[in-house]
């Protein structure tokens, strides 16, 4: 809303400048001149908000790209789940940027640990069976 109002204020300022160039003086010219300063400030505020929002949008896109690349590197196949969560819930991007290594290593370590246990059990059974014979 502020941005649209600021753009409209720019249009009003241009109209006022065009009226000043005319020879005759309008009865509202004095009150219009007093409001020009406020309109210029308001228009400047609108452009400042546009620039700030554009910078924030660019930072969000860059952080999302970095988080996606990091998830692909760290998580492998399960990165699809993380990317979907990032698209739906943006704060997860920030969480993943901070603690992505521990999030992915937790999943991988659990799988590796269970695989190691089952391999150790089967190897121990083979060793014990061969030893008892």
Domain boundaries, the chain: 2-132
Q: What tens digit of pLDDT does each residue of 6-39 get? A: 667 767 777 766 666 655 555 555 566 666 777 7
* CA gap 12, 57 in Å, rounded: 29
Taking the CA of residue 23 as centre, how many other CA atoms within 13 Å lie in the half-sphere pointing to its CB?
0
What percent of the chain stands above pLDDT 70?
54
Q: What tens digit of pLDDT does each residue of 70-125 get? A: 888 888 888 888 889 889 998 999 988 888 888 887 655 555 555 555 555 655 66
What's this model's pTM, rounded to 2 decimal places?
Answer: 0.54
Whether the CB-CB separation of 9 and 46 falls below 8 Å is answered with yes
């Amino acid at each position: 809303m502020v941005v649209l109002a600021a753009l409209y204020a720019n249009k009003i300022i241009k109209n006022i400048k065009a009226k000043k160039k005319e020879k005759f003086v309008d009865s509202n010219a004095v009150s219009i001149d007093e409001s020009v300063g406020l309109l210029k400030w308001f228009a400047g505020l609108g452009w400042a908000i546009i620039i700030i929002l554009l910078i924030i949008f660019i930072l969000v896109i860059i952080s999302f790209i970095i988080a996606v690349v990091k998830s692909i590197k760290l998580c492998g196949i399960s990165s699809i789940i993380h990317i979907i969560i990032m698209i739906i819930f943006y704060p997860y991007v920030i969480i993943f940027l901070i603690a992505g290594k521990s999030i992915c290593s937790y999943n991988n370590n659990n799988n590796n640990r269970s695989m190691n246990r089952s391999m150790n059990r089967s190897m121990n059974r083979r060793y014990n069976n061969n030893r008892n014979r």
